[in-house]
Structure 1
Amino acid sequence: MTEIINLQPEKERVIIGGLSHKTANFDYTMNELKELARADNMEVVDRVVQNLDKMEAATYFGKGKVVEIAELAAGLDVKVLVINDELSPSQIANLEKQTKMRIIDRTELILEIFADRAKTREAKTQVEIAKLQYELPRVHPSANSLDQQHGGGGLANRGSGETQMELDKRVIRKRISELKQNLLTLEKSAETQRERRQQSGLPKVALVGYTNAGKSTTMNQLLAAFDQLDADKKQVFEKDMLFATLDTSVRTIQLPNKQKFLLSDTVGFVSHLPHNLVASFKSTLAEAADADLLIHVVDYSDPHYREMMETTTQTLQEIGITNLPTIIAFNKADLRADTNYPEVVGNDLIYSAKDPASIEKLAELIKKRIFADYQSVELLIPFADARVLADLEAHTNVFEKDYTEAGTRVKVVLDPVRHNKYQKFVLKEKV
């Protein structure tokens, strides 16, 4: 009999905990913490909550609650406690000492998830920078007495009296500096790619929103509906899990009238996203910053969708993305019994990314917004200007072409830039 080997890593059993701070959305953040733990292959077996206005300086929880946690963990045989806030190095050290558990705060948990999900060199570099910046103030003195001080000796040593902890911090700072230089090189390469896409003259649309709102599903369904050529190969990864993917993907969507636009799927957001991580991912979100239109995808089925929208808006503002034309796309309407879809409300859409009619309606909205300034014209292009015809056929919707003695006569839809550039060839507008 063939033995079946389970290659799935065993889930880490954990307890989650937090202080309510007497805030209205506390349960929401705790449920989100549970989903974050699940995304990091953890099984949440219990949760502890304390109603305090502010955290205890030494141990985050009050003394009595710390004893309660230690007893609960011992009874459940759980070795890890995940906290719903970012803790100071001393709070982590004190809690670990008193509970005999490994303490993971919210920031470290998110960083672990990002480190596991990062696939491209750019994303891996960004995450490593953020992790090292998080670890830097948390470097502990070595328990080895031989590590406490080192005399003159090596070139890497500043001199007598430098502790191992100071050396460790200096190594981390040096590594951060090296990674930032590497990231600059990678960002230049990404910028070159963006410039090439800009030269195509195609409008740029970016999907933004909370993690697991359905951005990747929306992109894949648009590809399936309007890009029949190798659509399966162009699909982006999607999974019902927070931060299923971190890497920005860019695809070309061609509508039935041959008009094209670039669609990018960006990294999702979450409440209390670590500041260092947001700063590191500015370049990844550059596709959104350069967009002509944002599609803010919202999980309409989540009772906390308004808080999710606010988090997305705040994070975009933090990295300088403001005042861009935006369609609010309320996704997962199929999970709400009280909702009709697809339904256009002003400039926004209530829809389900899994519903073909919804995808058609979303495409109509996108088309209406990004092609509003495009014009149908008739051009006469002399044979000597064959490069102009080549540019039009490569980057625009040429829907009629006829060869005459004077040159090539074409009917074409032009973007504002090309309309101005090729004005001298225009025979008549709005053909």
Structure 2
Amino acid sequence: MQEVQQRETEKVILVGCQFTEDDDSFARSLDELASLVKTAKGTVVATVTQKRQKVEPSTYIGRGKVDEIITLIEEKQADTIVFNDELSPSQVRNMHVRTKVTIIDRTQLILDIFAARAQSREGKLQVELAQLSYLLPRLAGQGLALSRQGGGIGSKGPGETQLESDRRHIRRRMDEIKHQLEAVVGHRQRYRERRKQNEVLQIAIVGYTNAGKSTLLNRLTAADTLEENQLFATLDPTTRQFVLPSGLQVLLSDTVGFIQDLPTTLVAAFRSTLEELQHAHLLLHVVDSSNPDYLQHERTVRTLVEELGADKIPQLLVYNKADEQVADFFPTRTEDSVEVSAFDQEDVTELKHVIEEKLVEQLMPYRVMLSPDEGRLLARCKQETLRSVQQWDEAEERYEVSGYVSQHTALGQELRNRMKDEE
């Protein structure tokens, strides 16, 4: 709590360079950076922008803009400068020497937010590994900026000691973290194998940060996941049981939110967590349709899903916040998409039916006749398949059971063989 109070008073100057003619996209990118600073408990006191053909190698921005920033620092009593891009070690060093304040780039800001948000042991280890991977090549260039301890933006370091001063210590710590994560990943894989043996269908929620993924998870499953109008409100993955309208129980997982230019160190560190996507039967791609930049957000998530090797998994586009849609909203596709408001119960009910329909597309239809003494198989059909009919046939004195089942499961194979025998 003390740390949060310290962070609330930090005054930040935003710096961005525009290299294209797309003014709207650049403005939205700076707005997103301001939201990230707010999430990190900073206050934006000024924004400095510049149009350039290419980056200035030594300071990222031109000499005149550096002088303008120095004047703003004195005028606004700013503590930190946050750049809307990833800086090289020499650019960080040169800007710090010129301005005498802390220099943070977009990557380090996101890492800082993740460090503050991580709750689980695995999440904390993953963030620390990402921080150290980012920090290691920058040791020579950061100088006095790294000696600052406390609660400011960018100083949410991976430990109490100054790890930055000793490369060998950092590498040793990274090896320790990787070893600890291997044990956690092994546990996750065993849990995943157990779910596979239990033949449970899995659904994963993906989307841009603050698209409403956790809210949807809560409405669909009655989970108690944190809901906040902030970027990266939920960091640690959450998996809950989700009951489809047919009564079948499946697993629904919430994942960490994506963001444009998500640091590669974070993608690498969270790969074991994000691998859950590759084992899902359906991806719910949640898009905030009230955000003017929703198309870019949608493309960003698609690209990251492809990088994670999950692009072949069926997707359902869920355009959330339909009650606040932007005026010129138009879905990128009408098939495999639905517009909802997570706070409208009718919309949530409709979404459940659409999810079930999408899952049915991947399943094998079956129809079998079961005798009364086949109670075990009848129970499995009830628990592990999407049943559409179960009725007693007086003439046959057997149960007629039909529905849909995954043909890759043991039960699917058994029902397929059963249907062949009954032909």
Normalised-by-shorter TM-score class = 0.7 to 0.9
Contact kept, 8 Å, 1:208 with 1:294, in 2: the verdict is yes
Contact 1:206 1:263 in 2 (8 A): yes
- Who is 1:273 aligned against? 262
Among candidates 263, 274, 296, match of residue 307 of structure 1: 296
Structure 2: runs of 5+ lacking an equivalent: 145-161
- Provide the residue aligned with 2:180 in structure 1: 182
Cα shift readout 1:263-292 (whole Å, capped 9, x = no counterpart): 111111111111111111111112211111
Paired residues for 1:371-410 under 5 Å: 371-372=360-361, 373-375=363-365, 377-380=367-370, 383=373, 388=377, 391-392=380-381, 394-396=383-385, 400=390, 409=399
With the length of structure 2 as denominator, give the TM-score of the two structures: 0.84
Equivalent pairs counted in the alignment come to: 395
> Please, what is the CA RMSD of the aligned residues?
3.3
Give 1:3-402 correspondences, 5 Å limit.
8-9=5-6, 10-24=8-22, 25-140=25-140, 168-223=166-221, 231=222, 234-336=223-325, 338=327, 345-372=334-361, 373-375=363-365, 377-380=367-370, 383=373, 388=377, 391-392=380-381, 394-396=383-385, 400=390
SS at match of 1:353: coil
Give the 3 Å change call, closer, same or farther, for CA 235–403 of structure 1 in structure 2. Answer: farther
1:362 Cα offset (Å): 1.4
Give, in angstroms, the shift of residue 141 of structure 1: 8.5
Unaligned runs of 5+ in 1: 145-163, 224-230
Distance 1:137 1:388 in 2: 59
Q: Which amino acid aligns with 1:308?
A: H
CA distance in 2, matches of 1:275, 1:408: 58
Which of these residues, 374, 397, 413, is aligned with residue 420 of structure 1? Answer: 413
Contact 1:377 1:412 in 2 (8 A): yes
Per the alignment, in what secondary structure is the counterpart of residue 177 of structure 2?
Answer: helix
Q: Which residue in 2 is equivalent to 1:159?
A: none
The letter for the 1-side match of 2:16 is G
Question: Matches of 1:222 and 1:260 in 2, distance apart?
Answer: 12
SS in 2 for 1:139: helix
Once the two structures are overlaid, the 10-residue window that deviates more, 389-398 or 18-27, is 389-398
**SS at the partner of 1:238?**
coil
Deviations 1:199-222 (A, max 9, x none): 232322111110001111111111
How far is the alpha carbon of 1:407 from its aligned partner?
11
Q: Is the 8 A contact 1:118 1:246 kept in 2?
A: yes
**Structure 1: distance between partners of 2:193 and 2:102:** 46
Query: For the residues of structure 1 that align with 2:129 and 2:113, how far apart are their CA atoms?
Result: 14
Counterpart AA for 2:18: S
Residues 21-30 or 166-175, more deviating? 166-175
Query: Normalized per residue, which structure has more helix?
Result: 2
